[in-house]
Amino acid sequence: MSLAFIFPGQGSQAIGMGQELAQAFASAREVFQEVDDALEQKLSLLMRDGPEDQLTLTENAQPALMAVSLAVMRTLEKEFGVNIGRAAFVAGHSLGEYSALAAAGAISLSDTARLLKLRGQAMQRAVPVGQGAMASLIGPKTDLALAEAAAAAGSEVGVCVVANDNNSGNVVISGEKAAVDRAIEKAKELGARAIPLNVSAPFHCPLMQPAADEMARALAEATFKAPGAPVVTNIQAQPTNDPEVLRRLLVEQVTGRVRWRESMIWMAGEGGVTRFAEAGAGKVLTGMAKRIAPDADAVSLNAPADLESFAKSL
């Protein structure tokens, strides 16, 4: 069995996430405290009690989701003896790539928390509220070619690109609102359903360049080490161990496409991965894994019982 740990992105957050882990394991509580200390913010209380509109803010959701993922990983290691060395690869969806890097020891937990706080703030600053938009194109006819055609139609009136190639039947577009609206019309003509997303900014598109510039400056000052497992990156959909390449790709990722479908296909194919374990809040990536790589096993790890049964199965 070849194992890959995968880490969720924004949208998986929910009030109460990580609380079962915190109640059951001191190692999880340590992670949440370290993140609180790094941010000089009681993020763990916000995660536990809300309000939801504050947790959903990008600058809070991003470090919070990372904290839950890292609480899972530290608990697996400290309580069950399962360390990152058991994985052939790690990968994360958008902000989840930071979780993957932290889990693999490439960036410290405190640095990762601060970088994600800044990433959320920088993305929010990059485009005034209401000027950008994102939409999910879904349905059996939806594939990358259809999404590219819809984005091309949108590009006739403004910036519009494919932001997330999640899986066949689920592709996200992003850009200026008028352009995304035009792309939605085209997608419907082509036979897809289109759902406008309730997001605060148009992520993973060229409008995020000011945020990419901010992250380039911050990442240049962060300490990177070789990860304990190769990281299959969003930008390349290929693995790398090179700290400087990982640093550069995190900058490119702010404006670039999340090539998740390709990443999963590579891991399940050339990478030989037969089991995907989603470490963190929710089960979004587990569902995607089952659609993209149906021959592989996929499990979500976010409750104490999940961790125990997973450790016993190894």
Within 13 Å and on the Cβ side, how many CA atoms surround 312?
Answer: 6
> CB of 174 within 8 A of CB of 132?
yes
* CB proximity list for 221: less than 8 A, separation 6 or greater: none
Distance (Å, whole) CA 43 – CA 221 = 24
> CB of 282 within 8 A of CB of 306?
no
Is 263 annotated in the active site? no
Sheet with 160-167, strands from edge to edge, namely 160-167, 170-176, 132-138, 193-196
Q: Token pair for residue 98?
A: 């930071």
What SS3 class is residue 197?
A: coil
Beta bridge partners of 263: none
Distance (Å, whole) CA 173 – CA 152 = 11
Distance (Å, whole) CA 107 – CA 127 = 28
Distance (Å, whole) CA 32 – CA 21 = 10
Beta bridge partners of 297: 275
Determine which one of 174, 204, 263, 300 is catalytic: 204
> CB of 174 within 8 A of CB of 133?
yes
Is 69 annotated in the active site? no
What SS3 class is residue 26?
A: helix
Determine which one of 94, 99, 174, 300 is catalytic: 94
* CB proximity list for 314: less than 8 A, separation 6 or greater: 1, 3, 82, 86
Distance (Å, whole) CA 20 – CA 84 = 22
Q: With helix as H, strand as E and coil as C, how does 186-240 read?
A: HHHHCCCEEEECCCCCCCCCHHHHHHHHHHHHHHHHCCCCCCCCCEECCCCCCEE
What residues act catalytically? 94, 204
